[in-house]
Amino acid sequence: MSDRTVLHVKGRVLVGPEDVRDELWVVDGRVSYDRPAGARDIRTVKGWALPGLVDAHCHVGLDRHGAVPQDVAEKQALTDRDAGTLLIRDAGSPSDTRWVDDREDLPKIIRAGRHIARTRRYIRNYAWEIEPEDLVAYVAQEAKRGDGWVKLVGDWIDRDLGDLSACWPRGAVEAAIAEAHRLGARVTAHCFSEDSLQDLVEAGIDCIEHATGLTEELIPLFAERGVAIVPTLVNIATFPQLADGGESRFPRWSAHMRRLHERRYDTVRGAYDAGIPVFVGTDAGGGLAHGLAAAEVAELVTAGIPPLDALAAGTWTARTWLGRPGLDEGAPADLVVYDEDPRADVRVLAAPRRVVLNGRVVG
- Quick one: how far is CA 291 from the chain centroid? 12
CA nearest neighbour of 348 among 22, 140, 21, 47: 47
**Strand pairing of 149-153 and 30-32?**
unpaired
Q: Give the global pTM.
A: 0.97
pLDDT (average), residues 88-98: 96
Mean pLDDT of 15-19: 95
Task: Give the DSSP H/E element, type plus range, for residue 326.
Answer: none
CA–CA dist 230, 266 (Å, integer): 15
Distance CA 153, CA 286 (A): 15
Q: Which amino acid is at 150?
A: V
Would you tell me the crossing angle of helices 251-262 and 264-273 to the nearest 10 degrees? 50
Longest dimension (CA), the chain: 72
Question: What pLDDT was estimated at residue 40?
Answer: 79
pLDDT digits 0-9 by tens, 193-246: 999 999 999 999 999 999 999 999 999 999 999 999 999 999 999 999 999 999
Tens-digit pLDDT profile for residues 155-201: 999 999 999 999 999 999 999 999 999 999 999 999 999 999 999 99
Q: What is the pLDDT of residue 3?
A: 54
Q: How confident is the model at residue 4 (pLDDT cuts 50, 70, 90)?
A: low
Count of CB atoms within 10 A of residue 69's CB?
A: 9
pLDDT digits (tens, 9 = 90+) for 115-158: 999 999 999 999 999 999 999 999 999 999 999 999 999 999 99
Identify the residue with better confidence: 49 or 40: 49
Pairing of strands 108-111, 85-90: parallel
- Cα(148)–Cα(51) distance, integer angstroms: 22
Mean pLDDT value across residues 22-38: 94
Per-residue pLDDT for 55 more than 80?
Answer: yes
Can you give the pLDDT at residue 237? 98
At position 237, the amino acid (one-letter code) is: A
Identity of residue 251: P
